[in-house]
Amino acid sequence: MTSTPEITDSHCHLDFPDFADELPQVIDRALAAGVTRMVTICTKLRLEPQVRAIAEAHAPVFFAAGTHPMSAAEEPMATVEELITLARHPKFVGIGETGLDYHYSAESADAQKQSLRVHIEAARQTGLPLIIHARAADKDMARILAEEHSAGAYSCVMHCFSSSAELAQAALDLGFYLSMSGISAFPKSAELRDIFAAAPVSRILVETDAPYLAPPPHRGKRNEPAYTRHTAHVGAQLFDMDYADFAAQTQTNFDRLFRKAAAWEEDV
């Protein structure tokens, strides 16, 4: 009997109300599917305590925190010092999500850019990876990421990547990572799959963005970390790899980028 290959859901939102009634069962289903680690993301810093509490209560769960770009104009502007303080928690493993979203909130572009640069500086100072949300803002995103990287290196993942090939290449040229979500498994996402297939497999992560974007065969339903395996199977096909080999590669990639999570496991 073979064991289930281990993978990591590098981005989910376990504090959302969708999971309130059955979070322990959701985590158990993830573990049964081979999803042995989950990074739950805080999108508004005032909610960080409840996100942190989930990570503290569940051994497989780590967390990150930042101000989502769609909330940048509504929430108090984050400070570098605030993010550095939060990052001292042993299970706090990333800065964000942050970024630019001009699809829904172009009117707050200036606030989003300011917030993004704050988060980048916090990532630079803590050594933790930046977690980027990018939508309909490719040129500004590529420019700011490159400008800031020239001012001082930092690491980064383009979470739930579904932007252009040009932004993907700009991110890869800076040494960043691309994360596959359920979108890459949608039947109409052939162009996106081509973008991932053209990237080095050593720079690929997998995620759910749960409760959103459930991959087939669960599309249209609530997503959950267990479904990471469906996206990972698509990734294995794209790179012409056995599922176990692709899963192992994404684990290596995650450990390389999210070094604090990997070190925490070793300590435990």
In the chain, what are the domain boundaries? 7-267
Whether 159 has a binding-site annotation, put simply, is: yes
Whether 11 has a binding-site annotation, put simply, is: yes
- Residue 267 identity (one-letter amino acid): D
| Predicted local distance difference test score (pLDDT) of residue 268 | 56
Confidence of residue 102 (pLDDT cuts 50, 70, 90): very high
Whether 230 has a binding-site annotation, put simply, is: no
Positive/negative CA dihedral, 115, 42, 170, 150: positive
Whether 149 has a binding-site annotation, put simply, is: no
For 179-193, write each residue's pLDDT tens digit.
999 999 999 999 999
For 157-177, write each residue's pLDDT tens digit.
999 999 999 999 999 999 999
Alpha-carbon dihedral 192, 197, 200, 202, rounded to 10 degrees: 90
Confidence of residue 266 (pLDDT cuts 50, 70, 90): low
DSSP annotation of 75 reads S
CA distance 58 to 24: 8
Whether 89 has a binding-site annotation, put simply, is: no
Residue 43 scores a pLDDT above 90: yes
Q: Which of 21, 49, 36 is nearest to 222 (CA)?
A: 21
Name which CATH class applies to 7-267: alpha beta
Whether 97 has a binding-site annotation, put simply, is: yes
Q: Which of 37, 12, 28 is nearest to 255 (CA)?
A: 37
CA distance 179 to 105: 23
DSSP 181-236: -GGGGSTT-HHHHHHHHTS-GGGEEE---TTS-PPTTSTTS---GGGHHHHHHHHH
- Asked whether the beta carbons of 257 and 62 are under 8 A apart, the reply is no
| Predicted local distance difference test score (pLDDT) of residue 3 | 83
34 — alpha (psi -120 to 50), left (phi > 0) or beta? Answer: left
For 199-220, write each residue's pLDDT tens digit.
999 999 999 999 999 999 999 9
- Using CB atoms within 10 Å of the CB of residue 185, give its burial: 0 to 12 exposed, 13 to 18 middle, 19+ buried: buried
